[in-house]
Structure 1
Amino acid sequence: MAEKSPGWCVTLNEENTIKMKRTSENPQEAPPVPPPVRIHNHFEGNACLTSKAGLRETMMAYYTSHGRDPFAALPLTFVMRNSSDPEFALWQRAFGEIGDAKGQRLWLLKPGQNANRGNGIKVCDSEEEVRKHLDSKERLFVVQKYMELPMLVHKRKFDIRAYCLVTQDPADGALRAYWYPGAYLRTTSVEYSTKTKDKMVHLNNDAVQKTGEDYGKFESANKLSLTEFQKYLDENHAKDGLSVQGMLVPQMRSLVADAIKAAAQKLNPRNLEHCFEVFGFDFMVDAGFRAWVIEVNTNPCLELCTSYMSSLIPKMLDEAFQLSLDVIFPQGAAPPRASSRRGDEGVSNSWELIYCSTAPDAKELSCSWLPEMPGEGSKADLANMGQALKSVASLACMLQFSPHPAITDAAVIQL
């Protein structure tokens, strides 16, 4: 765009720097031309969400400041570099207490920074295994409690990928976050079991599942739309009255809103103009039909691997560009269509505004159902947090969306 701007030429174009000069040797002969606009499709500080260590830090700071347990929104997570790190001792205590009380000993060990597509993730079930892996490499790790009572689809594990668009208004600096209704499930091809540490059983990442011989055997490209998920629930769990749109989507929307609120002051540290980004949020659903944030992805996969994805992805991106690029370059916008869900006349768009930094309620907690943090303020014991995941059977009682508050351990396991 800069190279095609009349009166200017680009002399340097790097990731963080662009340099230009006027093409006329005599500036007086050239008509005044505004400098070209540079647009960034990422936020410079997005690692506060998209790195696993950054997400833990960001969400923990936000929820503890509201007096809520952060590990009722994401699984109990410890950040450490090796077994000499102070958090390793805290993790040891949590490992022993959870193992003794619940018989749950599975944990995920993940690279804390610069990793995606399931790379470097290890399923561990012993203290020695975690210690050995931590001390084998010089890097930052997160050790996260594995969800041992997930909800299943046909006895197989799944997660949910949802999209969030974040834009920043160059005029007033307002940060806005949007939710896209076209989320979808990513399934495994192998029946779930805690008796194995096979990644094909436990990790839903496409890059992992594609290597399996049964990839695509049960669902096209191991994908299900939310509509197909609701059909599965209606056919297999009709008595539970589970509603994806009424119970699950509101949780995920609120978790996304809180994540952006938590990161708002960190996303654009130099206040660069014309920034926007589409994030991929990954959620797990436990046996109590509660959503948990697992990861936030920059550069989420946009592969058109099924007919549903071929419809979803181009539409999602086109409508994201309406709210970002078309605002800056209205002359390039598509012709007006029907009215928008945002209320803007003449634009058809499915993105739903869930957060604006200048709105009166910008600082209010979206996930109001989260339990209060154990202990007092910042003195709370990290090893004692995350009680919700340790007692999945009690989760439905805490959900304002759930119609069955008396769910039992037996019912949870049957789900």
Structure 2
Amino acid sequence: MIEVSRNKQIERVKLSLDSDKFNYFLAQSLNKVTSHRSLQQLAKTLADHFIQNQIEIRNKSNQQRQRQNALPQIIRRSQQSIKVLPKPPRIEPKQQQIPLNKVPFTILEPQYSYLLGGGNNHELIKRIMDTRREWHQCKSTTRVHFRWQQSNIGYKYYKMNAYNPHRSLVNHFEFHQEISNKKNLLLNMTTFCDSIHRNVFDILPVTFIIDFNDSQIESHLVAFLNYYNQYSPNPISSDELLLKKQEIKKKLRIPPSKERRFIDYQMKDTFLGDDYLWLLKPTGLNRGRGINVFNSIDQLTDLLIEYTSGVSEKHIETPNEKIYQGIIIKSPSFVVQKYIEKPLLINNRKFDIRVWVLVDQDLNCYFFKEGYIRTASEDFVTNDVNNLFIHLTNNAIQKYSQKYGDQEAGNQLSFDQIQKIFKNKIDFRQVIVKKMKEIAFLVMNSVGNKINRNNRRNCMEIFGFDYFLDEKFNLYLIEVNTNPCIEESSPLLAQLIPRMLDDAYILTLDSIFNISREKVSPFPVKGYQNNENMWQLLGSLKDQVIYQ
């Protein structure tokens, strides 16, 4: 009875819907239709099934059509054969000329990685590298293309050879200590000056080496004591000097040596004064660290005993506090250098000159066209050897003075400013800057065959050269720094240092990795074109040729 009723319901639905497709669908779906309470409910259910089925059929048809359109040819099938119709010709749209100023900007994916060590304003290096879209910063040394850090500790120079296909650049030469170490600077310059028949002390102040690791330390110490007594305003007799030598050698436990040294050099009068000051410098430190001023042999002896056993880094006294560095300095190697007691002064204050010298991956030597003057905060006197704000012009020391920045921003002056100060006495750029270039190239040539003696590939370095002028405008090289300060401690340095680094990278980084840069520098410097590289080529260290 139930089956008869169900068949009647289906028959009535079929008659009510005049559709061939529905009839086909109904014939295929009869077994899936369950019993319903009313004819209307059954009709609604069948209609819903029909609509859903048609949607699925249409979706499959669209997908098949899309696959056919993706083929290179349109394939039409018939019952008897397959006809392949050729692809209709494509109508190329007309190319419109787009003005250059409206060409869309293309973002380049970084191709190379660089790794930065911390300290010494490394954020500036990142800021400069961010202008190079081909580079991205990484934190791993694996396959890195450029490394910049304060020292060369961790650099695997043995991998930097012609057989290694991986290109990488580092910012220190393997043997930069040949000039950045004060002892090595003196030794190399002495040898080089002898070869060109020049006296090294016309370039460097009179300097002696005291190295407790050197078997000939006695000969160096005795040479210094003899020279010291020769020019002392209060010399002692030969017998007294002999007793003094024996006393010092006993205190310092210095073994005897057979070699005898004698310095035959007439000290210039600008080095001499009533207080007869000398400097003691550990050979491996920079930024004024460990430097002491002394004016007696007893003071020197006490300082040597302290530093060889280890001494806390000297504190800086200000009117309100004592600033302790908190670092133990222990050094077996020193230079003893004559203090220039009659320096050239600016507003009665001592100053020195900082310039930058670049040696690139091909051992070409460059001089940056602008440098700066570093001034002391206190008026110059020679009878106060403990006041570092008088004697040492390093910004790392002067920034703690209560008078820091009172007369110049950051205690710094530009070359143009010092040119105006001494315009009635000397042409600073034509005479002094030219002399600094000459000395810089001589110094770099003294180590031209040593600084990269293992022929490591792709090393570069920026050195900080510090010069000093006496009151007669005689120029002397004080030291060479491997890690020159790049702190932007004044508006002047905020302008010079970024341009100095960026232009150096154009000569090294961009050249090695064949990167074409825009000619306009993003770091403008007053007085120079933005498309000008401010590094001046001095010459090649390979052949010691000066490029005019």
Unaligned 5+ runs, structure 2: 1-111, 115-134, 145-152, 234-268, 309-331, 522-529
Partner of 1:43: 173
Superimposed CA distance per residue, residues 108-156 of structure 1 (whole angstroms, 9 cap, x where no aligned partner): 000012x111111000000111122123333101100001111000000
Taking the aligned partners of 2:210 and 2:349, their CA distance within structure 1 comes to: 31
SS at match of 1:254: helix
Partner of 2:478: 294
Taking the aligned partners of 1:15 and 1:193, their CA distance within structure 2 comes to: 44
Letter in 1 for 2:400: T
SS at match of 1:330: coil
Partner of 2:51: none
Work out whether residues 160 and 282 of structure 1, in 8 Å CA contact, stay in contact via their aligned partners in 2.
Answer: yes
Larger radius of gyration: 2
Partner of 2:397: 208
Partner of 1:137: 307
SS at match of 1:123: strand
Partner of 2:408: 219
SS at match of 1:177: strand
User: What pairs with 1:158-307 in structure 2 (closer than 5 Å)?
Assistant: 158-169=351-362, 175-197=363-385, 198-234=387-423, 238=424, 240=425, 242-307=426-491
Letter in 1 for 2:402: E
Letter in 2 for 1:180: F
Deviates more, 1:202-211 or 1:156-165: 202-211
Taking the aligned partners of 2:299 and 2:478, their CA distance within structure 1 comes to: 22
SS at match of 1:317: helix
Report how far residue 57 of structure 1 moved: 1.1
Partner of 2:288: 118
Partner of 1:107: 278
1:74 equivalent to 2:226? Answer no
Report how far residue 287 of structure 1 moved: 0.7
Report how far residue 18 of structure 1 moved: 8.6
Q: Check 1:15–1:99 CA distance in 2 against 1; reply closer, same or farther (3 A cut).
A: same
Partner of 1:317: 501
Q: Check 1:179–1:10 CA distance in 2 against 1; reply closer, same or farther (3 A cut).
A: closer
Q: Check 1:196–1:70 CA distance in 2 against 1; reply closer, same or farther (3 A cut).
A: same
Taking the aligned partners of 2:543 and 2:502, their CA distance within structure 1 comes to: 26
Report how far residue 196 of structure 1 moved: 1.1
Partner of 2:229: 96
Letter in 2 for 1:224: L
Work out whether residues 279 and 293 of structure 2, in 8 Å CA contact, stay in contact via their aligned partners in 1.
Answer: yes
Q: Check 1:19–1:352 CA distance in 2 against 1; reply closer, same or farther (3 A cut).
A: closer
Taking the aligned partners of 1:49 and 1:244, their CA distance within structure 2 comes to: 26
Letter in 2 for 1:168: Q
Q: 2:156 aligns with which of 1, 14, 17?
A: 17
Q: Check 1:358–1:80 CA distance in 2 against 1; reply closer, same or farther (3 A cut).
A: closer
Q: Check 1:19–1:290 CA distance in 2 against 1; reply closer, same or farther (3 A cut).
A: closer
Taking the aligned partners of 2:165 and 2:113, their CA distance within structure 1 comes to: 8
SS at match of 1:227: helix
Q: Check 1:303–1:335 CA distance in 2 against 1; reply closer, same or farther (3 A cut).
A: same
Taking the aligned partners of 1:275 and 1:219, their CA distance within structure 2 comes to: 36
Superimposed CA distance per residue, residues 44-71 of structure 1 (whole angstroms, 9 cap, x where no aligned partner): 1001111111111111111122221101
Work out whether residues 2 and 10 of structure 1, in 8 Å CA contact, stay in contact via their aligned partners in 2.
Answer: no
- For CA contacts below 8 A with separation 6 or more, give which structure has more relative contact order: 1
1:128 equivalent to 2:330? Answer no
Taking the aligned partners of 1:168 and 1:350, their CA distance within structure 2 comes to: 18
Superimposed CA distance per residue, residues 260-290 of structure 1 (whole angstroms, 9 cap, x where no aligned partner): 0001111113211011111110000111112
Which stretches of structure 1, 4 residues or longer, exceed 6 Å deviation after superposition? 2-5
Deviates more, 1:193-202 or 1:82-91: 82-91
Work out whether residues 445 and 544 of structure 2, in 8 Å CA contact, stay in contact via their aligned partners in 1.
Answer: no
Work out whether residues 10 and 19 of structure 1, in 8 Å CA contact, stay in contact via their aligned partners in 2.
Answer: no
SS at match of 1:327: helix
TM-score normalised per structure 2? 0.56
